[in-house]
Amino acid sequence: MTHHTPISANGVPPQRRTCRPRNAVALLALSALTGAVWAQSGEKIKVGFMLPASGTYAALGVAIENGFRMYVGEQGGKLGGREIEYFKVDDESDPAKATDNVNRLIKRDKVDVIVGTVHSGVAMAMARAAKESNTILIVPNAGADAVTGPMCGPTIFRSSFSNWQTAYPMGVVAGKQEGKKNAMTITWKYAAGEESVNGFKEGFEKNGGKVNKQLTLPFPNVEFQALLTEIAAAKPDAVYAFFAGAGAVKFVKDYHAAGLSKTIPLYGPGFLTDGTLEAQGDSAQGMLTTLHYADELGSERDKSFRTNYAKAYKLAPDVYAVQGYDAAQMLAVGLKAAGGDVSKKDVFRSAVEKATIASPRGDFTLSKAHNPVQDIYLRKVEGKENRKLGVAVKALADPARGCKL
Ligand code: PHB
C-alpha cells in the first residue's frame, strides 16, 4: 500500500475512482470526500524535518521546529484532515552531507513533505533532490537566492526570505538615511554570506555609498581578531556583517570588545541580533538591522503567537520560530485544498500560490517563484528587543532572477 493510491487503498467502492466531476462544486465535494477518507484511514502525513541540531545554527533549528509544531498543535495535530507524523535528520549545516541526508527522508522514510533548512548550501542540495523526486519542500529559513531563482520549482516553497531581500534594504538605509559614504563588509564565505553582502552593496551603492572592501572567513569559523584589526586600521564609515546563531553572538561581542562599536556603526540583516540578544547583552545595544520581523509588532496575531510560544517552549520568540510557524501554515493551506492528498501537487501548488498567510510578521503572499513578498522592517536593539523603527521597504519582492515557473 502506498500513499499515492488513497481511494482503492482505503476500500472506497471502485466506481468512485471512475467518477468524472463536471463542475467545481463536484470537484469540491470530491476533495472533501477524499479528505474524509484519509481521516478515516488514520494514515498520517509524514513530515521530514531536515534542520541543524548541532553546530553554530543549532538554536535556529530548534526554534523552527518549535514554531512548526506549535501551529500544528493549534490545529489539533491535524492538517487537511490528517494527523502529522514527524521524521528528523540533523543536517549539521554541512553541504557535503546534504544529499545523503535529504535522501534519508525521501527514500528511506518516504516522507510526504520536507521542511528545511537553515543553511543555504544545504538547502540548495535539498531543492535539487525535491525537484528530482517531485517532493514538496518548504524552506523555513535558508535564503539562497537560487532556491527561488534558477532552482525554483513547482513543489518548492519558502516561508522565510531570500538573502538579497533582507540585505538590500539595509544598504538603502545606510546610504540614504544614515548618509554613510564608505563601508566594509564581513561574512562567512558561502552562498548566504556572499549574497547578503552583495545585496547590501547594491542598495548602498545606489544610494551614494561605496563598499571598499569585502572580508570573509570560512564557515563556521569565529576567529575574528585579524579581520577586526583590519577594520580598525581602515576606519570605514560603517561595517555590514552577515553572521547568525552562535557565530553572530561571538562576532557582535568581539566587535564591541575591540572598541569598534563606539566609532564605526555595525549594520546587518536582522539575523545578527535575532534570537541572540540574551547572549549578546550590552554589546548589541543601539544596533540597526533590517528584517521581515521585529519584536512586539503589536498586532493581535503577533501578540498571541509570542505569548503562546514563550509559554510552550520557555524561549523568547524570534524570526526563526515565526518562519517555522508559517511553514506549517503554508502546508495547511495546500493540504486543505488537496483534501489531505499530497499526490495532488497541482491543487496544492495553486492553493499556496493564491494564499495570504496570516503571519505574526504581518500578512504575506508568495511571489511567482514562491518566495514571500513582505515588508522589511528597520529595527534597533533596545535592551533584549529588536524594536521596529519603521518599514525600510514595503512589500519587497525578490527579483527571482533566473526562475522559470
Ligand atoms: C542561510 O544560510 O541562508 C542563512 C543562515 C542563517 C540565517 C540566515 C540565512 O540566519
Residue 363 is predicted with a pLDDT of 98
Verify whether ligand 1 is closer than 6 Å to residue 118 (CB atom).
Answer: yes
pLDDT of residue 139: 99
Same domain, 97 and 170: no
Considering its fold, how many domains does the chain have in total? 2
Which pLDDT tens digit goes with each residue over 310-368?
999 999 999 999 999 999 999 999 999 999 999 999 999 999 999 999 999 999 999 99
123 touches 144 (CB < 8 A): yes
| Cβ of 126 below 6 Å from ligand 1 | no
Question: Are both 72 and 190 inside the same structural domain?
Answer: no
Q: Is residue 30 part of a domain?
A: no
Q: How far is the CA of 1 from the centre of ligand 1 (A)?
A: 39
Are residues 326 and 241 both part of a single domain? no
Residue to mutate (ligand 1; options 60, 118, 187; most atoms within 8 A of CB) = 118
Q: How far is the CA of 353 from the centre of ligand 1 (A)?
A: 24
Q: HEC profile for the chain? A: CCCCCHHHHCCCCCHHHHCCCCCHHHHHHHHHHHHHHHHHHCCCEEEEEEECCCCCCHHHHHHHHHHHHHHHHHCCCEECCEEEEEEEEECCCCHHHHHHHHHHHHHHCCCCEEECCCCHHHHHHHHHHHHHHCCEEEECCCCCHHHHCCCCCCCEEECCCCHHHHHHHHHHHHHHHCCCCEEEEEEECCHHHHHHHHHHHHHHHCCCCEEEEEEEECCCCCCCHHHHHHHHHHCCCEEEEECCHHHHHHHHHHHHHCCHHHCCCEEEEHHHCCCCHHHHHHHHCCCEEEECCCECCCCHHHHHHHHHHHHHHCCCCCHHHHHHHHHHHHHHHHHHHCCCCCCCHHHHHHHHHHCCEEECCEEEEECCCCCEEEEEEEEEEECCEEEEEEEEEEEECCCCCCCCC
Which pLDDT value is given to residue 279?
98
* Whether residues 153 and 169 fall in one domain: no
Q: How confident is the model at residue 194, as a pLDDT?
A: 98
- What pLDDT, on the 0 to 100 scale, is given for residue 296? 87
CATH label of the domain that carries residue 235: 3.40.50.2300
Q: Is 319 near ligand 1, meaning CB less than 6 Å away?
A: no
> Which residue among 51, 120, 289 is best mutated to probe the pocket of ligand 1, counting the most ligand atoms within 8 A of its Cβ?
120
Highest mean pLDDT among 10-19, 40-49, 214-223: 214-223
User: Is there an atom of ligand 1 within 6 Å of 192 CB?
Assistant: yes
Is residue 399 assigned to a domain? no
Identify the domain containing residue 207 by its residue range.
Answer: 164-291
* Range of weakest confidence among 12-26, 76-90, 101-115, 354-368: 12-26
pLDDT bucket at 36, cuts 50 / 70 / 90: low
Residue 30 Cα, ligand 1 centroid: separation in angstroms?
A: 41
The reply to whether 171 and 139 lie within a common domain is: no
State the pLDDT at residue 47.
98
- Distance CA(280)–CA(295), nearest Å, equals 16
Q: Assess if residue 32 is contained within a domain.
A: no
Say if 5 falls within a structural domain: no
pLDDT at 230: 98
What are the pLDDT digits (tens) for 155-182? Answer: 999 999 999 999 999 999 999 999 999 9
Geometric angle at alpha carbon 327, from 277 and 30, rounded to 5°: 165
Burial class (CB in 10 A: 0-12, 13-18, 19+), 143: buried
Tell me the per-residue pLDDT of 43-92, one tens digit each, with 9 for 90 and over: 999 999 999 999 999 999 999 999 999 999 999 999 999 999 999 999 99
Average pLDDT for 18-39? 53
Mean of pLDDT values over 5-31: 44
> CB-based contacts of 300: which residues, under 8 Å, 6+ apart?
none
Classify residue 12: in a domain, yes or no: no
How far, in Å, CA of 397 to CA of 166, rounded? 11
Please tell me whether residues 216 and 273 are part of one structural domain: yes
Its pTM stands at: 0.91
Structural domain includes residue 175? yes
- Do 101 and 141 share a domain, yes or no? yes
Please work out whether the CB of residue 328 comes within 6 Å of at least one atom of ligand 1. Answer: no
- Statement to judge: residues 301 and 286 lie in one domain: no
In a domain? residue 6? no
Share of the chain above pLDDT 90, in %: 89
**Beta-bridge partner residues of 56:** none
Q: Which of 155, 52, 159, 158 is nearest to 111 (CA)?
A: 155
Residues 255 and 168 in one domain: yes
The residue whose grid cell reads 491535524 is 78
CB 334 near ligand 1, within 6 Å? no
Distance, in Å, from the CA atom of 372 to the CA atom of 398, rounded to the nearest integer, reads 8
Residues 133 and 195 in one domain: no
Residue 40 Cα to ligand 1 middle (Å): 40
Q: Domain end: 274, 291, 308, which one?
A: 291
Q: Look at residue 16 in the predicted model and tell me its pLDDT.
A: 38
Query: Ligand 1 pocket test: which of 139, 163, 293 has the largest number of ligand atoms within 8 Å of its C-beta?
Result: 163
- Give CA–CA dist 239/252, Å, rounded: 12
- Answer whether 244 contacts ligand 1 (Cβ < 6 A): yes
Mean pLDDT of all residues in 92-107: 98
Instruction: Report the alpha-carbon distance of residue 1 to residue 11 in Å, rounded.
Output: 12
154 in any annotated domain:
yes
Say how far apart CA 61 and CA 102 lie, in whole Å.
Answer: 15
In residues, how long is the chain?
A: 405
Domain end, chosen from 291, 316, 339, is at 291
Same domain? 114 vs 189: no
- What nine digits make up the cell of 124? 540548495
The answer on 268 and 227 residing in a single domain is yes
Last residue of a domain, one of 291, 308, 329: 291
Residue 42 has pLDDT above 80, yes or no: no
| Contact (Cβ atoms closer than 8 angstroms) between residue 328 and residue 360 | no
